[in-house]
Structure formats: structure tokens, C-alpha cells
């Protein structure tokens, strides 16, 4: 998790207990709810974006025609 080893996790846990003490369970619960809401919000944004890409109002591309130049005709000479 986050690239932390067991010793780093233990240090983070000890610091959390020192900072929050008996409030640690409620702080962890609030942090978990916030993270869950954030993930739901990001999923909603992603689904709205995907839906918008599917329903674009741009017309379908038409057949591409190569540009043509007029044929060269040499000048007619009077005989």
C-alpha cells in the first residue's frame, strides 16, 4: 500500500495513535467515507465524459473526394 514496508506502516500507525488517540477510529472512518465519495465522484465524471464522447453532434464523415484539376488542352491553332 503506497509503497510502504511494514516498518514504515508501524511508524505511521504510532504517529496516528499519538496524534488522534481515542478519536482514531472516527478519524479513520471519516477518511474512508471521504475516499469512497471521491472515488464515486471520479467515476461519475468519467462516465459523463464517456457518455459525451458517444453522443457527439458532429455529422458522420462523408466520402472524401480527391480534388481534381481541369484537363490541359493545348491552344488550337488556325490553319
Is residue 2 in a domain?
A: no
pLDDT above 60 (res 11): yes
Task: Measure CA of the first residue to CA of the last residue in the chain; give whole Å.
Answer: 94
Is residue 73 in a domain?
A: no
- Give the count of alpha carbons within 13 A of 63, CB side only: 2
Is residue 19 in a domain?
A: no
Residues 14, 6 contacting (CB under 8 angstroms): no
Residues 20, 27 contacting (CB under 8 angstroms): yes
The structure's pTM equals 0.48
Of residues 9 and 70, more confidence is placed in 9
Is residue 63 in a domain?
A: no
Distance of CA 21 to the CA centre of its chain: 38
* pLDDT averaged over every residue in the chain: 84
Which grid cell is 12?
505511521
Is residue 70 in a domain?
A: no
Kindly state the percentage of the chain with pLDDT values over 70: 84
Is residue 13 in a domain?
A: no
Q: How high is the pLDDT of residue 20?
A: 84
Is residue 8 in a domain?
A: no
Is residue 37 in a domain?
A: yes
Question: Domain total for the chain?
Answer: 1
Range of 44's domain? 24-53
Amino acid at each position: 500500500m503506497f509503497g510502504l514496508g511494514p516498518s514504515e506502516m508501524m511508524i505511521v500507525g504510532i504517529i496516528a495513535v499519538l496524534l488522534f488517540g481515542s478519536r482514531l477510529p472516527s478519524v479513520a472512518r471519516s477518511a474512508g467515507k471521504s475516499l469512497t465519495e471521491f472515488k464515486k465522484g471520479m467515476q461519475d465524471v468519467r462516465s459523463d465524459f464517456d457518455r459525451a464522447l458517444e453522443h457527439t453532434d458532429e455529422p458522420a464523415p462523408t466520402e472524401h473526394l480527391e480534388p481534381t484539376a481541369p484537363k490541359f488542352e493545348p491552344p488550337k491553332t488556325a490553319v
